[in-house]
């Protein structure tokens, strides 16, 4: 079983902080469509197991309605706070960003988060509105309530708005990223501006995006490195300096994912996955909002 003894590399951010290069997500599998006050014990238990295996990077969001579960799991796992990397995101209460973070911190039972993200750009209706929201994010970082600030699901034009007036540039853009959605232009932009990329949905080709043209390549590489195709996808992100955010309620799967830390893909193997992946297009999230961006 891969576990806490499997070293997880960090990525240095543009603000000097570092982020562990794999995250355990509390959205998707755990998202509550109903009553937030109904506690999901399976979510708590899975987040505790994840921390015990060595996942110290935990990804949450107010809209998942699982921040209370994440806070309970952090308390139960007893990992020292300074070793943890906790992210949350604002969207439901975007009209009051400071109030939203205060509420999230209360649910998480924390005095600060490591990363606070604006969950999506679709709730700002003008350039000035984007810039005003970003200023509120900067204030929260300056108050020490979050160590880093960033965005999620932003396009280059939204990032351009921020860069026009920001004092602190976004440290991260968390986006859907996998071989069937390679976001080449956006990733180039991130690199040019010093923004780190986090990948959600990294396993899409072996989950809802399959079957497809990368299957045989993933199977061959999985045989070569003695892992599952999923771990090849996680490594494909890491070897491009992109931080995958994955999840599972199955302890064995969480343990298996950590085998992505035990090998490296060579540039030719990365290229093979890129070329095969570009033969298929698949987007699993935010289709209604993001379809226009697909061919950029």
Ligand X SMILES: NC(=O)C1=CN([C@@H]2O[C@H](COP(=O)(O)OP(=O)(O)OC[C@H]3O[C@@H](n4cnc5c(N)ncnc54)[C@H](O)[C@@H]3O)[C@@H](O)[C@H]2O)C=CC1
Ligand Y SMILES: O=CCc1c[nH]c2ccccc12
Binding residues: 119
Q: Among ligand Y, ligand X, none, what does residue 63 contact (CB within 5–8 Å per kind)?
A: ligand Y
Torsion angle of C-alpha atoms 247, 249, 255, 261, degrees rounded to 10 = 0
Residue 59 as a binder of ligand X (CB under 6 A): the answer is yes
Residue 201 as a binder of ligand X (CB under 6 A): the answer is yes
Residue 296: how many CB atoms within 10 A of its CB? 10
Residue 289: how many CB atoms within 10 A of its CB? 12
In whole angstroms, the minimum distance from the beta carbon of 268 to ligand Y comes to 33
Residue 115 as a binder of ligand Y (CB under 6 A): the answer is no
The C-alpha atoms of residue 290 and residue 180 are separated, in whole angstroms, by 15
Q: Among ligand Y, ligand X, none, what does residue 247 contact (CB within 5–8 Å per kind)?
A: ligand X
Residues near 261 by beta carbon (within 8 Å), at least 6 away in sequence: 2, 6, 7, 8, 9, 22, 238
| Sole binder of ligand Y in the list 22, 47, 63, 84 (CB under 6 A) | 63
Phi-psi category of residue 35: left, alpha or beta, with phi > 0 → left and psi -120 to 50 → alpha: beta
Query: Which strand (E) or helix (H) includes residue 47?
Result: helix 41-53
116 tagged catalytic: no
Choosing from 56, 64, 116, 154, the catalytic residue is 64
The C-alpha atoms of residue 205 and residue 245 are separated, in whole angstroms, by 15
CB distance 6 to 261 below 8 Å: yes
Residue 49 as a binder of ligand X (CB under 6 A): the answer is no
Residue 203 as a binder of ligand Y (CB under 6 A): the answer is no
Residue 204 as a binder of ligand X (CB under 6 A): the answer is yes
Residues annotated in a binding site for substrate: 119
Residue 206 as a binder of ligand X (CB under 6 A): the answer is yes
Q: Among ligand Y, ligand X, none, what does residue 181 contact (CB within 5–8 Å per kind)?
A: none
Residue 189 as a binder of ligand Y (CB under 6 A): the answer is no
| Sole binder of ligand Y in the list 8, 31, 138, 220 (CB under 6 A) | 31
Cis peptide before 93 (omega within 30 of 0): no
Q: What residues numbered 90-119 form the site for ligand X, per CB under 6 A?
A: 119
Residues noted as catalytic: 64
């Amino acid at each position: 079983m891969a576990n806490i003894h499997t070293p997880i590399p960090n990525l240095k951010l543009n603000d000097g902080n570092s982020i562990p290069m794999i995250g355990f997500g509390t959205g998707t599998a755990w998202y509550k469509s109903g009553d937030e006050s109904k506690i999901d014990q399976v979510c708590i238990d899975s987040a505790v197991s994840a921390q015990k295996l060595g996942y110290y990077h935990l990804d949450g969001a107010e809209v998942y309605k699982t921040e209370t579960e994440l806070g309970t799991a952090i308390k139960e796992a007893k990992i020292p706070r300074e070793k943890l990397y906790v992210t949350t995101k604002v969207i439901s209460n975007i009209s009051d960003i400071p109030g939203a973070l205060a509420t999230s911190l209360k649910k998480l039972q924390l005095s600060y988060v490591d990363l606070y993200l604006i969950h999506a750009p679709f709730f700002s209706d003008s350039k000035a509105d984007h810039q005003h929201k970003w200023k509120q994010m900067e204030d929260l970082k300056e108050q020490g309530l979050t160590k880093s600030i960033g965005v999620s699901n932003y396009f280059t034009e939204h990032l351009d708005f921020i860069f026009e007036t920001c004092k602190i540039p976004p440290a991260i853009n968390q986006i859907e990223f996998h071989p069937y959605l390679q976001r080449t232009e956006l990733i180039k932009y991130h690199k040019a501006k010093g923004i780190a990329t986090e990948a959600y949905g990294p396993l899409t080709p072996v989950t809802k995006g399959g079957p497809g043209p990368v299957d045989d390549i993933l199977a061959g590489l999985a045989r070569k490195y003695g892992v599952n195709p999923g771990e090849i996808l996680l490594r494909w992100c890491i070897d491009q300096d992109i931080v995958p955010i994955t999840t599972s309620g199955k302890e064995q799967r969480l343990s298996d994912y950590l085998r992505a830390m035990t090998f490296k893909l060579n540039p030719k193997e990365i290229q093979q996955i890129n070329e095969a992946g570009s033969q298929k297009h698949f987007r699993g999230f935010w289709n209604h909002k993001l379809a226009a961006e697909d061919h950029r």
